Amino acid sequence: MRLLNPIDQIFLRLERRNQPMHVGGLQLFERPADAGPHYVRDRVAAMRAHCDVQPPFDRRLKYRFGQPFWVDDEAFDLEYHVRHLALPAPGEIRELLALVSMLHGALLDRSRPMWEVYVIEGISGNRFAIYSKFHHALMDGVSAMRVMRRSLTDRPDPDALRVPWQLPRPASATGRTPLADTWKTLRATTRQTLALPGAAREVVRAWHDARDDPAFTRINQAPATILNRRVSGSRRFAAQSYDLARIKRLARHHRATVNDIVMAMCASALRRYLQDNDALPAAPLVAMVPVALHDGADEAGNHVAMIFASLATDVADPVARLAAIRASVDHWKRRYRGMSPEQIMAFVAALSAPAGLNLLTGIAPRRQSFNVVISNVPGPHETLYCGDAEMTGMYPVSIVLDGQALNITITSYREALEFGLIACRRSLPSMQHLLSHLAAALDELEPDDAGHRAASGREGVAADGG
């Protein structure tokens, strides 16, 4: 019996029926060529046979004196947590995304360990999928992605089945997880660093700069948009893979980073979507983006900060828009360069305090720090397997909040950037149109003579229909 730490308590307190606080991931797999009709069923049975459940997967909440504690679940029921579903024939990806939209909208049972794993069969192209769902109080999105990553192997092996709840090695050993480290730092330092003079000085300087420098995104200046209303309890999930080699080529061409291109894609897609809905504000949208700040030699010294970057959605020309976004991002990076991780965390906490306060109190924000979260978390380059089934795609499924009706989380896998968009289905009708707008944004950035415009999207993913 252990009291939840204050940050994890916040994720419980933030949760409402229209605002579930779990993160998820969707993984697509190809059945081996020789797989029989019971392949997925046998796989589910094998997963359920892994019943030596490890922390935190065996933990459930228990309230004592009004405080939430973690206790072991004495009536653990693996069949409840691991579920077997199927798509109706022909099992197109739009049906898979519709199913994930539905599953992601449902609250987890608080009287059990707050995670669920769905194995979904009957997907066209001889595929199956795994959708996993973890409460943010149990683990954050990056940890969830790490756990899902660690459930896979780097060689096909029918006998080497791993499951998130019973992994061979301790969680700390694998992978770079800058955002997870950020949370750790935040958890460790929030209280102490809020009063740091360095951070306070930076907040003042940020306000100052905003008056003088048009490229700098002033705090709390994000415009009111349809992205920033109260959300309903229904979700729409959309996902697509985009060719990373092409994005890298465009980045080189425009002397930008991959992340700059990703942000330009999002900016262009949002601009077009809001235009289609007659809802584009005059002022540019602001994205909150976690970015890794490299110190140079010391890789362990990497840290992450949140930047509040302009998406320059007031700029019509795609190349000029990319330049404006890059200038905004670079400004923030320069600002952070001289600061320690603790100072940055304190700075971010101060900047996003109105948003956090709004979340906790449920008051719709009058002053909006940002319009949308765009999070790009690096993923594995090598091909991964679930037993002997090759993973062909993996897409993050994040959280939608009151005032933040859209979240765009991106990861990479092999030669693709994998976009996962989750939205309030009611606030953002036909949100899946953003996927084709993202592809069109790449076309816009091609040099005029490139002739790549036809090949923007990749096979294998598409929008949840309707």
19 HSE (CA, 13 A, CB side): 18
Among 37, 66, 197, 451, binds a copy of itself (CB under 8 A): 37
Least separation in angstroms between residue 241's CB and a copy of itself is 25
- For the CB of residue 75, give the shortest distance to a copy of itself in the complex, in Å: 6
Output 17 or 64, the one with its CB closest to a copy of itself.
17
Provide the 10 A C-beta neighbour count for residue 425.
23
Active-site residue 136, yes or no?
yes
d(CA 161, CA 85): 19
Token pair for 60: 């459930």
**Helix (H, G, I), strand (E, B), or coil: what is residue 19?**
strand
Binding a copy of itself by CB under 8 A: which of 53, 96, 121, 149?
121
Say whether residue 94 binds a copy of itself (CB under 8 A).
no
Distance of CA 24 to the CA centre of its chain: 9
> DSSP label at 108?
P
| Stretch 230-289 residues interacting with a copy of itself (CB under 8 A) | 232-234
Distance in angstroms (rounded) separating the CA atoms of residues 47 and 29: 16
Nearer to a copy of itself, 94 or 333 (CB): 94
DSSP state letters, 407-435: EEEEEEETTEEEEEEEEETTTSTTTTHHH
Which one of 9, 10, 12, 18 is in contact with a copy of itself (CB under 8 A)? Answer: 18
| C-alpha dihedral (208, 214, 218, 221), degrees to nearest 10 | 140
- Cα 174 to Cα 197: distance, rounded to the nearest angstrom: 35
Closest C-alpha to 461, from 412, 413, 392: 392
Q: Which of 62, 94, 110, 248 binds a copy of itself (CB under 8 A)?
A: 110
Residue 6 touches a copy of itself, criterion: CB under 8 A: no
Distance of closest approach, residue 406 Cβ to a copy of itself, in angstroms: 17
Closer of 45 and 320 to a copy of itself (Cβ): 45
Please, what is the minimum distance in Å from the beta carbon of residue 95 to a copy of itself?
7
Q: Which of 105, 365, 379, 420 binds a copy of itself (CB under 8 A)?
A: 105
Tell me how far, at minimum, the Cβ of 151 lies from a copy of itself, in Å: 20
Residue 99 interacts with a copy of itself (CB under 8 A)? yes
Instruction: Let me know the angle formed at the C-alpha of 12 by 373 and 424, rounded to the nearest 5 degrees.
Output: 40
Q: What angle do CA 253, 257, 260 make, to 5 degrees?
A: 100
H helix or E strand, kind and range, residue 144 = helix 141-150
> Which lies closer to a copy of itself via its Cβ, residue 15 or residue 243?
15
Catalytic residue among 136, 254, 303, 437: 136
Q: Which stretch binds a copy of itself (CB under 8 A): 35-43, 294-302, 358-366, 396-404?
A: 35-43
Which of 50, 83, 150, 162 touches a copy of itself by CB under 8 A? Answer: 83
C-alpha–C-alpha distance, residues 279 and 258, integer Å = 28
Are 258 and 374 contacting, i.e. CB atoms less than 8 angstroms apart? Answer: no
Residues 411-450 within binding reach of a copy of itself (CB under 8 A) = 425-426, 429
* Cβ nearer to a copy of itself, comparing 18 with 166: 18
Distance CA 184, CA 179 (A): 9
Beta bridge mates, 154? none
Tell me the closest approach of the beta carbon of residue 24 to a copy of itself, in angstroms. Answer: 15
**351 alpha carbon, distance to own chain's centre:** 21
Measured from the CB atom, the residue of 99 and 251 that comes closer to a copy of itself is: 99
Structure tokens at 76: 């653990």
Stretch that binds a copy of itself, among 81-89, 199-207, 274-282, 368-376 (CB under 8 A): 81-89
Region binding a copy of itself by CB under 8 A among candidate stretches 227-235, 330-338, 382-390, 392-400: 227-235
Minimum separation from the CB atom of position 46 to a copy of itself (A): 15
Q: Is the dihedral of CA 305, 189, 409, 220 positive or negative?
A: negative
Nearer to a copy of itself, 38 or 191 (CB): 38
Q: State yes or no: residue 87 binds a copy of itself (CB under 8 A).
A: yes
Alpha carbon dihedral 22, 18, 349, 266, in 10-degree steps, equals 80
Q: Which is nearer to a copy of itself, 114 or 267 (CB)?
A: 114
With beta carbons less than 8 A apart as the criterion, state whether 399 and 22 touch. yes
Q: Does 125 bind a copy of itself (CB under 8 A)?
A: no
Report the catalytic residues.
Answer: 136
Binding residues for a copy of itself, per CB under 8 A? 17-18, 37-38, 40-41, 75, 77, 79-80, 83-89, 95, 98-99, 102, 105-107, 109-112, 121-122, 232-234, 425-426, 429, 465-466
